[in-house]
Structure 1
Amino acid sequence: MTTGAAGSTGSVSPRRADTRRNHERILVAAGESLTATGEVSFNAIAKHAEVGVGTVYRHFPTPEALILAVYEREVRHLVDVVPVLLEKYAPAEAFRVWATDHLAHYMMTKRGLADALRAATASRGELPASAYEAMVGAVSTLLAATTEAGVVRADLDPVTVLRGLGGLLHLDPNGQWRRDAAALADLLWRGMAAPGAAACD
């Protein structure tokens, strides 16, 4: 006995798979454009993604929709890497690597995206709530692991810690931001650490 519908077997139709590939290629191209120039040109993005400009418009009818999608994709990467880091490193080191190698790197290399995002959300006055909640969730996961390991205080609020990490935005992308990010992470860690816990290095 066979099933006639692709959905009943769990497979993805070639057309749907192609749509997903195009969607991701557009986001990658747009992300690179925003990083480099802070601008969104549907024609340039279509050329870079190797799709028709009409395809870009079908996926993202406005520049604002595309910018928000790129932002949410970048946030998703920051969130998804947390469990990978916790598998690879001890909890304290995972926190430091996430803060300095991932979050700081994102903030320093995505200034064009940040500027475009501010313009795209000017009418709303706020960033997508789902992205913010995802970032709080990522910090919560890191805090749960470090708390269980006994290296941070148990009373830490993930929102407060995320606000502290927001200081990374003030680093100079043209200066020694990696060194400064490590110094900021160390300062924050000293306030988070449980009595007698080792430094975050």
Structure 2
Amino acid sequence: MRTDALQNRERLIDVARQALEIEPPPTMAAVARAAGVGQGTLYRHFPTWDDLVLAVHRTDVGELVDMVPELLETHSPRDALRIWLGRLAEYGRIKKGLGSAIHSAMHEQLAGEGYAPVVGAIDALLDAGKADGLYRADVTGEELLLLVGFLWRLDLTEGRDERSARMLDVVLAGLVR
């Protein structure tokens, strides 16, 4: 893909990501305008709204998964896991508003595509802590994902970040050997 086409695609995904936080989401034409491209450019990259939403989801999950090695390189396993789970929670809160933007079949596809990579990322973070003797050996990434699912259910109110941090501390304390 040409550099300008790649930049247009990335800009469209960034604008759509922000648009998905708005209820109801804007039209495709509004996304194109906000990204500073023509509708033809938008439709060449994303023929349908579903294609655009899937691209945002794939990009976001990819970024979440791809950050694991750097976190483990620059932080202790405990801090890396905490930081990553915080990012996962933020992603979940943002995507909570997708309800009107997607239909149930697409929701299943999004969940299916993102589930295994996210569980794999959590397993990698847990394995680093297990190797250091920090975490219990019997906890899996899937179990931890189920436990922290509450974080993206928190309302977007004042004090949410502090509450989320306290709740995450409780979950992470249960991992310690």
Normalising by structure 2, report the TM-score. 0.89
Question: In structure 1, which of residues 153, 171, 196 is the aligned counterpart of residue 136 of structure 2?
Answer: 153
Find the counterpart in structure 2 of residue 142 from structure 1: 125
Find the counterpart in structure 1 of residue 39 from structure 2: 53
SS at match of 2:20: helix
Runs (4+) of structure 1 moved beyond 4 Å?
none
Question: In structure 2, which of residues 99, 109, 125 is the aligned counterpart of residue 115 of structure 1?
Answer: 99
Find the counterpart in structure 1 of residue 15 from structure 2: 29
Whole-Å Cα distance in 2 between the matches of residues 24 and 169 of structure 1? 25
RMSD of aligned alpha carbons: 1.9
Matches within 5 A, 1:48-197: 48-100=34-86, 102-112=87-97, 114-116=98-100, 119-124=101-106, 126-128=108-110, 129-194=112-177
Q: How many residues align?
A: 176
Whole-Å Cα distance in 2 between the matches of residues 35 and 56 of structure 1? 19
Contact 2:19 2:25 in 1 (8 A): yes
5+ residue gaps in structure 1? 1-14, 195-201
Q: Which has the higher helix share?
A: 2
Whole-Å Cα distance in 1 between the matches of residues 14 and 54 of structure 2? 13
Deviations 1:87-134 (A, max 9, x none): 22110111111122x12222334443x324xx5241356143231111
The 1:125–1:29 alpha-carbon spacing in structure 2 relative to 1, beyond 3 Å, is: closer
The 1:125–1:34 alpha-carbon spacing in structure 2 relative to 1, beyond 3 Å, is: closer
The 1:56–1:96 alpha-carbon spacing in structure 2 relative to 1, beyond 3 Å, is: same
The one-letter code sitting in structure 1 at the alignment partner of 2:108 is: E
Find the counterpart in structure 2 of residue 4 from structure 1: none
5+ residue gaps in structure 2? none
Larger Rg: 1
Normalising by structure 1, report the TM-score. 0.79
Q: Percent identity?
A: 36
User: Offset of 1:52 from its aligned partner?
Assistant: 0.9
User: Offset of 1:64 from its aligned partner?
Assistant: 1.2
Whole-Å Cα distance in 2 between the matches of residues 86 and 124 of structure 1? 33
User: Offset of 1:28 from its aligned partner?
Assistant: 0.8
User: Offset of 1:19 from its aligned partner?
Assistant: 2.0
The 1:80–1:44 alpha-carbon spacing in structure 2 relative to 1, beyond 3 Å, is: same
Contact 1:40 1:63 in 2 (8 A): no
